[in-house]
Amino acid sequence: MRYSRVCLKAFGYTLPDEVVTTDELERRLAPAYERLRLPAGRLELMTGIRERRFYPPGTRPGQVSIESGRRAIAAAGIDPSHIGALVHGSVCRDFLEPATACGVHHALGLPESCLIYDASNACLGILTGMLQVANMIELGQIRAGLVVGTEDGRPLVETTVERLNTDAAIDRREIKQYVASLTIGSGSVAVLLCDEALSQKRHRLLGGAVVANTAEHGLCQSEGLETFMRTDSEQLMRAGVATGARTFELFLKELGWSRGDVSKTICHQVGVAHRKLLFEQLGLSESLDFSTFETLGNTGAAALPMTMAIAAEQGHFAAGDRVAMLGIGSGINCQMLGVEW
């Protein structure tokens, strides 16, 4: 897919105030660690995640998404009447119905003509929303669109800790499928895309490639964030990276780039082992990458775009940089997008 008139206009993001270190999480897991004779420090050593953040108990994702949306609109400096689509793309949502996008749309005061809906695609929900909004802009159906999402990892992490501490049937082998749940953090991001006529900076969304390797859809499954998520972490990492490598080749071909043309990268934020293997398989240097998993953990669908927002805020990108957004999510789905900064 290619775009000729779509720009990334602005980001807005919102982080929780409460920080939970991995050391603290392991202290909470003391009963499980003692029962299974696991060494302290294991979780951070395996993942590279030092801490993550949580919203207060009872926080509804839509309420935080409203704040992120407001920040993106303010940063964009455009009239909200130009926004013709709103997509809420996080795993977390307020209700089964109506769409979380409804409350966000109302609070932001967007026009009645705005197309609104939720998009669910595991850790790629917000990137999926970006593709859909970009398509509408490219077709001339809308002038601008807002994609937003908020992930609240507290319920999943706390439920996982409780189960590991109390379920004596879980042994050292079975505990592996719960490790990924302990890496989850919370965060919120909004991305505003627009037609080039509305953008002065013109960070151009050039296009990208997608691959759906659905033969591996059973490697990570969750019945809900307040229940449990079971993940074959090692196999998911290997299958995901292999799928990512195939997607990257298609991505380069579609955009007419070589590996040497990639100036910067932003990946889905999983952990240190995942990033190392991914860059080895892609034939890229890890020095190109900007990461946040060390202090934010895996924030689901918000992870990649929120990391890009933080990178932009910290001046990580220079004019003319070619930025590769490398999205890999359970399913297994890959979506990789290219931006000319």
Helix axes 303-313, 125-138, angle to 10 degrees: 70
120 belongs to a structural domain: no
* Residues 6 or more apart whose Cβ sits within 8 Å of residue 128: 89, 119, 121, 335
Question: What tokens were used for 137?
Answer: 């802009």
User: How much is the pLDDT for 176?
Assistant: 84
Distance separating alpha carbons of residues 296 and 112, to the nearest angstrom: 36
3-state secondary structure of 276: helix
Confidence of residue 15 (pLDDT cuts 50, 70, 90): very high
274 belongs to a structural domain: yes
129 belongs to a structural domain: no
144 belongs to a structural domain: no
User: How much is the pLDDT for 12?
Assistant: 98
Q: Which residues are catalytic?
A: 97, 123
User: How much is the pLDDT for 213?
Assistant: 87
**Which parts of the chain are beta strand (E)?**
6-14, 18-21, 51-54, 83-88, 115-118, 144-151, 187-195, 203-212, 220-222, 229-231, 264-267, 322-329, 333-340
Express each pLDDT in 248-300 by its tens digit. 999 999 999 999 999 999 999 999 999 999 999 999 999 999 999 999 999 99
User: Could you tell me which of 53, 229, 13, 284 has the C-alpha nearest to residue 152?
Assistant: 53
User: How much is the pLDDT for 238?
Assistant: 80
Express each pLDDT in 23-49 by its tens digit. 999 999 999 999 999 999 989 999 999
**Number of independent structural domains in the chain:** 1
Strands 144-151 and 83-88: parallel
3-state secondary structure of 282: helix
Confidence of residue 228 (pLDDT cuts 50, 70, 90): low
- The predicted model scores a pTM of 0.94
77 belongs to a structural domain: no
Express each pLDDT in 86-110 by its tens digit. 999 999 999 989 999 999 999 999 9
Express each pLDDT in 164-195 by its tens digit. 999 998 988 888 888 889 999 999 999 999 99
Question: What tokens were used for 52?
Answer: 């993550």
- Rounded to the nearest integer, the mean pLDDT of the chain is 93
Compute the C-alpha angle 35/38/41, nearest 5°: 135
Question: Does residue 306 surpass a pLDDT of 90?
Answer: yes
For residue 288, the enclosing domain spans 203-340
Give the up-direction half-sphere exposure of residue 299: CA atoms within 13 A in the CB hemisphere. 34
CATH number for position 284: 3.40.47.10
Question: Does residue 221 surpass a pLDDT of 80?
Answer: no
174 DSSP β-pair partners = none
